[in-house]
Amino acid sequence: EDGSQLWLRYTPVDKHIAQQRTISLQAKDQTMQLAKQELESYWRGSSISLRLDKKIKKLRDGYQIKGDGTGVEVVAAEPAGLLYAAYHLLRLQETGADIEHLDIEEIPDYDIRILNHWDNLDRTVERGYAGYSLWKWDELPKQLSPRYEQYARANASIGINATVLNNVNASPQILTADYLEKVKALADAFRKYGIKVYLSANFSSPKVLDGLSDSDPLRKEVQAWWVAKVKEIYTHIPDFGGFLVKANSEGQPGPQDYGRTHADGANMLADALKPYGGVVMWRAFVYNPTEEDRAKQAYQEFVPLDGKFRDNVIIQIKNGPIDFQPREPFTPLFGAMEKTPQMVEFQITQEYLGFSNHLVYLAPLFKETLDAETYSQGPNSSVARITDSSLGNHQKTAISAVANIGEDTNWTGHHFAQANWYAFGRLAWNHQLSSEQIAEEWIYQTFTDEPNFVQPVRQLMMDSREAVVDYMMPLGLHHIFAFDHHYGPEPWGDRKGGRPDWMPWYYHNADTVGIGFDRTKSGSDAVSQYHEPLRTLYGDIKSCPENLLLWFHHVPWGHTMKNGRTLWDELCFRYDRGVQDVREFQKTWDRLEQYIDAQRFTEVQSKLKIQAKDAVWWKDACLLYFQAFSNMPIPYELERPIHELETLKKIKLDMKHHN
Ligand code: BDP
């Protein structure tokens, strides 16, 4: 067991069973045929009839399943719906549900459920920790790796229906005729699994690829270039999804290079895509090294543009206002642009969460954002309801996440990182599913249904996100990572001449008085970007949730926390708790050896050792460094540091990210 099968470890049904039941379908469509094939190979229940009824439009690409004990009837309005139903039936079977008596209707919460690959054309993956890119550009379009189809199947099995193939820091080359041939080959391989291909577009492409004097979106020549390019793409790929764009952000080109707005840029691309039904996902991840708090900048830049975007533009917004930290409040831009479709961008790849070394189950993090109340239209205005179009009436809804997939045999580097890919797909389909349920389904299908294994592993997964928050950045601390690679701690980090908003001190502000970022009215006033009652709740040190305290406040070391401890003591306890949690994960895991295969058992065991060491590294580095400001002892009942701060400061990791 090397993890290559992911959660798709179905055993083929024996001939005897197969002869006793039929899977019937009247259709030639290849997606529907695939649904039939999957059931023929693996379904152990009674006969199934699969039917397409285009009239039941409300189902979109969902399905209805009815089973009365003698047979199962599946209806969908689109071919992909039948495929998703087939995988749902197999999921029920593999998780031990009753597969004969069924009365199910499932309609996905989002139209576009999309992975963002940060894959470069040289096959390095930005912030990727599972080896090189899956896409073998040099072999394409002639040679097709078998993994393309396996990848598509895995996605389809959890309802993911779209993928952006290349990095948001996009090479213009992806839009050349040569590369479009290669992209077409991938699109062709994915199509029957219901997956549409999208591309990240470099805003300067007209200038770089065809020598136009500039890429000004208001110039006719530039607009015509995009119209022609889009036409070329659609002749290759008639169901092409559209563009994802990172513009005027971290050095990427964009409309502002020509004094134009994000809306001008997005609309030019949207107009070119419109005749084909394509969409533009325009990222709101923008910030500059100015006097203004980085956390406020996306809101300041985008809110004034509300109502100015074409209806096939969706603003893609990271879950938190800074950058995929272990914990952030939701980005206040959600719910602040009533006339503009918005989508969440999560990060499945663990850039800030221990790469593929740490076991961190991300469903609770995803749900924390989706369930977050924005109060934009009073109560019941969660991020989920804003983005799934329950509030407002948007043409197409979407949800995205940066993939953690690479060439590694087990796809994601850590066996448990597969669960985060799985969880994203399941939540994109139904954001009401609980993290526990998703974890449990995944464990059943990936490992075993043995309750003595399922229960403790589910608990371990559920505890893992709080553990990483505790040993890295408790109480609202953020971005105190080592420069650039973002793996280990570097709260002391400072680069001469470097951008302040990339330096840890910018975020923690530790001094002899206290620690934390004052985002209240007396500070950067980022709290004011939130609707009431959040503005008041976050803005008052007495009511601010403690897990976000240092995000919103600069708090004196001696401040009394809810449990009576001082802030300093509580910080020490949290770091220590994170370390103890990982130690517990190790004990839990070691007890489970008898239930699973040796390979995956030992591989996870070794990763937990790294995680335990890293947790102590984080704790010692942060506490020893902050102690120089607090001047208080680490509470004596806690384990003592085992590192010297000066030694930790010298650690240099060879973990340059590929950019
Ligand atoms: C940050 C990454 C950087 C990405 C950037 C982005 O450090 O590599 O290019 O986000 O999302 O998290 O554009």
Question: Rounded to the nearest 5°, which phi and psi values hold at 537?
Answer: -60, -50
Among residues 29, 214, 250, 584, which one is catalytic?
250
User: Ligand 1 centroid to 620 CA: how many Å?
Assistant: 27
Residue 300 falls in which region: left (phi positive, over 0), alpha (psi -120 to 50) or beta: alpha
Length of the chain: 659
* Selected residue with higher pLDDT from 26 and 60: 60
Residue nearest to atom 1 of ligand 1 (CA): 323
Question: Interhelix angle for 177-191 vs 220-236, to 10°?
Answer: 40
Instruction: Give the span between the Cα atoms of 573 and 127, in whole angstroms.
Output: 31
pLDDT above 60 for 658: no
Q: Which has the closest alpha carbon to 175: 250, 224, 236, 256?
A: 236
Say what the pLDDT of residue 389 is.
Answer: 87
User: Ligand 1 centroid to 450 CA: how many Å?
Assistant: 40
pLDDT above 90 for 151: yes
The predicted complex's ipTM stands at: 0.99
**Do 15-106 and 469-517+554-650 show the same overall fold?**
no
Return the number of other C-beta atoms located less than 10 Å from residue 12's C-beta.
Answer: 10
Q: Which atom of ligand 1 is nearest to the CA of 127?
A: 8
**Is residue 32 within 6 Å of ligand 1 at its C-beta?**
no
% of the chain surpassing 70 pLDDT: 99
Say what the pLDDT of residue 334 is.
Answer: 97
pLDDT above 60 for 336: yes
User: Ligand 1 centroid to 351 CA: how many Å?
Assistant: 9
**Is residue 351 within 6 Å of ligand 1 at its C-beta?**
yes
Instruction: Give the span between the Cα atoms of 161 and 164, in whole angstroms.
Output: 11
Say what the pLDDT of residue 497 is.
Answer: 81
What is the CATH number assigned to the segment(s) 15-106? 3.30.379.10
Say what the pLDDT of residue 268 is.
Answer: 98
Torsion of CA 590, 592, 593, 595, to 10 degrees: -170
Say what the pLDDT of residue 654 is.
Answer: 60
Task: Give the confidence band of 484 by pLDDT, cuts at 50, 70, 90.
Answer: confident
Q: For 519-561, how does the pLDDT look when each residue is reduced to its tens digit (9 = 90+)? A: 999 999 999 999 999 999 999 999 999 999 999 999 999 999 9
pLDDT above 60 for 15: yes
Say what the pLDDT of residue 395 is.
Answer: 84
**Is residue 285 within 6 Å of ligand 1 at its C-beta?**
yes
Question: Rounded to the nearest 5°, which phi and psi values hold at 104?
Answer: -125, 135
Residues near 262 by beta carbon (within 8 Å), at least 6 away in sequence: 247, 248, 254, 255, 256, 282, 286, 301, 302, 305
Mean pLDDT, the chain, integer: 97
Instruction: Give the span between the Cα atoms of 308 and 387, in whole angstroms.
Output: 18
Average pLDDT over residues 23-34: 94
Residues near 636 by beta carbon (within 8 Å), at least 6 away in sequence: none
Q: Which CATH number fits domain 112-433: 3.60.21.10, 3.20.20.80, 1.10.3720.10, 3.30.70.20?
A: 3.20.20.80
614: annotated active-site residue: no
% of the chain surpassing 90 pLDDT: 94
Least confident of 18-32, 55-69, 198-212, 453-467: 18-32
CA distances (Å), origin 31, targets 22, 34, 80, 198, 420? 18, 5, 6, 20, 26
**Is residue 484 within 6 Å of ligand 1 at its C-beta?**
no
Q: Which atom of ligand 1 is nearest to the CA of 126?
A: 8
Helix, strand, coil percent content, the chain, rounded in steps of 5: 40, 10, 45
pTM of the predicted model, to two decimals? Answer: 0.98
Testing ligand 1's pocket by substitution, the residue of 129, 167, 168, 350 carrying the most ligand atoms inside 8 A of its CB is 168
Q: Where are the alpha helices (DSSP H) in 515-655?
A: 534-539, 549-552, 567-590, 598-630, 645-650
**Is residue 346 within 6 Å of ligand 1 at its C-beta?**
no
**Is residue 324 within 6 Å of ligand 1 at its C-beta?**
yes
Residue nearest to atom 13 of ligand 1 (CA): 168
Q: For 416-470, how does the pLDDT look when each residue is reduced to its tens digit (9 = 90+)? A: 999 999 999 999 999 999 999 999 999 999 999 999 999 999 999 999 999 999 9
Q: For 223-259, how does the pLDDT look when each residue is reduced to its tens digit (9 = 90+)? A: 999 999 999 999 999 999 999 999 999 999 999 999 9
User: Ligand 1 centroid to 350 CA: how many Å?
Assistant: 12
Average pLDDT over residues 1-15: 96
Q: For 583-641, how does the pLDDT look when each residue is reduced to its tens digit (9 = 90+)? A: 999 999 999 999 999 999 999 999 999 999 999 999 999 999 999 999 999 999 999 99
Bridging pattern class, strands 48-52 and 72-76: parallel
Say what the pLDDT of residue 239 is.
Answer: 98
The domain segmentation of the chain, as residue ranges, is 15-106, 112-433, 469-517+554-650
**Is residue 318 within 6 Å of ligand 1 at its C-beta?**
no
100: annotated active-site residue: no
Testing ligand 1's pocket by substitution, the residue of 117, 118, 127, 352 carrying the most ligand atoms inside 8 A of its CB is 127
pLDDT above 60 for 364: yes
Residue nearest to atom 10 of ligand 1 (CA): 323
Task: Give the confidence band of 53 by pLDDT, cuts at 50, 70, 90.
Answer: very high
Instruction: Give the span between the Cα atoms of 623 and 629, in whole angstroms.
Output: 10
pLDDT above 70 for 39: yes
Average pLDDT over residues 126-131: 98
Q: Are 236 and 191 in contact (CB under 8 A)?
A: no
Say what the pLDDT of residue 180 is.
Answer: 98
Least confident of 98-107, 480-489, 594-603: 480-489
Say what the pLDDT of residue 471 is.
Answer: 98
Testing ligand 1's pocket by substitution, the residue of 203, 244, 250, 281 carrying the most ligand atoms inside 8 A of its CB is 250
Q: Which atom of ligand 1 is nearest to the CA of 486?
A: 7
351: annotated active-site residue: yes
Among residues 216, 351, 470, 620, which one is catalytic?
351
Find how far residue 433's CA is from the centre of its chain.
16
**Is residue 151 within 6 Å of ligand 1 at its C-beta?**
no
Say what the pLDDT of residue 659 is.
Answer: 28
**Is residue 246 within 6 Å of ligand 1 at its C-beta?**
yes
Torsion of CA 120, 124, 130, 136, to 10 degrees: 70
Task: Give the confidence band of 655 by pLDDT, cuts at 50, 70, 90.
Answer: low
Angle at the Cα of 23 from the Cα atoms of 162 and 71, rounded to 5 degrees: 110
pLDDT above 60 for 160: yes
Task: Give the confidence band of 498 by pLDDT, cuts at 50, 70, 90.
Answer: confident
Residues near 208 by beta carbon (within 8 Å), at least 6 away in sequence: 172, 202
**Is residue 471 within 6 Å of ligand 1 at its C-beta?**
no
Is CATH 3.40.50.2300 the right assignment for the domain spanning 469-517+554-650? no
Q: Which atom of ligand 1 is nearest to the CA of 169?
A: 9
pLDDT above 80 for 656: no
**Is residue 168 within 6 Å of ligand 1 at its C-beta?**
yes
Average pLDDT over residues 509-513: 98
Q: Which atom of ligand 1 is nearest to the CA of 402?
A: 11
Residue nearest to atom 9 of ligand 1 (CA): 169
Say what the pLDDT of residue 495 is.
Answer: 84
Among residues 38, 94, 264, 323, which one is catalytic?
323
